[in-house]
């Protein structure tokens, strides 16, 4: 074989190795999810049962909705630390309305509307006052949490109105209504981000806001809309959550925002903006959920769950950073 042929063969092997590594980085969350699924299927016979899978989907429906919408925020180069507080406000308001007026559907529809308004508030504060989204939503989360406490007076609002639990507990063909709502929301958000002009604008703003502005994109308007989407999703998740437990709790959403951000980042969406996808965040949520479910099924020490999840997130972020640095 000639020297030229040897050189060509070497370059081909190098390109193949590089592409395989890039492929592993690109779909790391799916590879991890597949590994966890296989391990749990082997270690626990009860894992791949219809009841267990449906329960996992149902329990994580609110978080999936919040994380899917949070993908827009992070791709645009922002953070939303108020989704947990919006979840709380929307939930207690829905419970209060159900008890006060007796119409459960008006009460439940009020939750996403409240979320939309509070998300718009975040977007306006960030764009008009030029406050960084991290600080702005941290401050607004304190305001919203206080509102939730004031609405309830610090106590639970128990709802006994007939039909209030339909959204959170009823099933259609064995599948929870909440899971069907989750699928519909995720599909709509996926389409909006990956198949519309607005989605391309979100990527452009997160990739380089100044360049996006020069190209004619209304950067502030785009940022406001992504926070509206995030708030609307948090309110929708709250409607499911409050319907499920039939009570409004002022701190029901505590920690949800961190879980959602962790899932988005674990899925491979870049915290620097401009890169990510809705399916990645959904996969991130279910990877974390599978780990928790595995600890329960195998009777492992639950205190180790967060530590294991933390190491996996660090590994995922490190792998993504390594891939980005070499491109």
pTM to 2 decimals?
0.90
Residue extents of the structural domains in the chain: 29-326
Position 99 pLDDT exceeds 60: yes
Render pLDDT for 175-191 as a digit per residue (tens, 0 to 9). 999 999 999 999 999 99
Euclidean distance between CA atoms 236 and 224, whole angstroms = 18
Render pLDDT for 145-177 as a digit per residue (tens, 0 to 9). 999 999 998 889 999 999 999 999 999 998 999
Phi and psi dihedrals of 248, rounded to 5? Answer: -95, 125
Question: What's the CATH code, domain 29-326?
Answer: 1.10.3470
Are the beta carbons of 181 and 61 closer than 8 angstroms?
Answer: yes
Token readout for 273 is 């903006």
Tell me which residue of 78, 74, 114, 64 sits closest to 94, measured CA to CA: 114
Render pLDDT for 26-45 as a digit per residue (tens, 0 to 9). 788 888 889 889 999 999 88
């Amino acid at each position: 074989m000639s020297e030229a042929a040897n050189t060509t063969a070497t370059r081909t092997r190098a390109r193949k190795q590089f592409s395989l590594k890039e492929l592993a980085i690109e779909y790391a969350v799916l590879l991890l999810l597949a590994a966890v699924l296989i391990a749990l299927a082997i270690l626990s016979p009860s894992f791949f049962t219809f009841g267990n899978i449906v329960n996992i989907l149902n329990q994580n429906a609110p978080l999936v909705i919040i994380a899917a919408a949070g993908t827009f925020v992070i791709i645009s180069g922002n953070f939303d630390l108020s989704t947990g507080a919006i979840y709380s406000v929307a939930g207690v308001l829905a419970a209060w309305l159900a008890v006060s007026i007796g119409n459960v559907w008006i009460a439940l529809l009020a939750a996403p509307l409240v979320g939309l308004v509070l998300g718009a508030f975040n977007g306006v504060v960030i764009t008009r006052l030029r406050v960084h989204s991290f600080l702005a939503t941290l401050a607004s989360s304190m305001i919203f949490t206080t509102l939730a406490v004031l609405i309830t007076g610090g106590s639970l609002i128990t709802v006994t109105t007939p039909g209030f639990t339909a959204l959170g507990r009823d099933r259609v063909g064995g599948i929870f209504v909440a899971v069907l709502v989750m699928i519909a929301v995720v599909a709509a958000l996926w389409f909006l981000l990956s198949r519309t002009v607005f989605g391309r604008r979100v990527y452009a703003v997160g990739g380089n806001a100044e360049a996006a502005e020069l190209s004619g994109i209304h950067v502030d308007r785009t940022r406001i809309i992504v926070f509206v989407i995030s708030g609307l999703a948090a309110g929708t998740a709250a409607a499911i959550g409050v319907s499920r437990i039939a009570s409004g709790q002022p701190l029901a959403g505590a920690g949800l925002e961190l879980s959602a951000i962790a899932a988005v980042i674990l899925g491979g969406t870049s915290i620097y903006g401009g890169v990510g996808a809705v399916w990645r965040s959904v996969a991130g949520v279910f990877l974390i959920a599978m780990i928790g479910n595995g600890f329960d099924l195998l009777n492992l020490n639950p205190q180790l769950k967060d530590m294991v999840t933390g190491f996996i997130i660090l590994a995922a972020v490190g792998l993504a950073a390594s891939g980005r640095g070499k491109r």
